[in-house]
Amino acid sequence: MTIQNEILIAANQIANKGNKPTVALIKTKLNKKVPLPVIISTLKTWQHEPNFISLLENKVDINEPANKIKVSTLFEQSLYDELTYMKKEIVELKDLVKQLIGQQSN
């Protein structure tokens, strides 16, 4: 588990209890000492995900190809979705640039 995931899990656990996650509360829940800037930067990007309170192990689905592993957390799933969307946007932007360059040469 990454330290960022541990911080996000702690923040969600605190928020699920009805409290606002603070650096001090997060720090008391962590298993090891973490520099304050890491906690602060992770907490700045944190969004409450009530179900992301522990990491599940990645599971392989025998019905899917061997290279496809099911995403085990909401955080990983949303990250995957966002990256997929960004890749699609990049392809569209590249096509648009090619079109613009083609128009300039005519």
Per-block mean pLDDT, blocks of 10 residues, the chain (106 long): 86 91 91 90 87 58 46 69 88 91 81
CB 33, CB 6: distance < 8 Å: no
74 shares a domain with 46: no
Q: Domain tally for the chain?
A: 2
Q: Locate tokens 């330290």: which residue?
A: 3
pLDDT at 76: 77
Torsion (CA) 24, 26, 28, 30 in degrees, nearest 10: -150
60, part of any domain: no
Give the up-direction half-sphere exposure of residue 26: CA atoms within 13 A in the CB hemisphere.
27
Q: Which domain holds residue 1?
A: 1-54
Q: How far apart are CA 11 and CA 20, in angstroms?
A: 8
Can you give the pLDDT at residue 5?
A: 86
Per-residue pLDDT at 56: 52
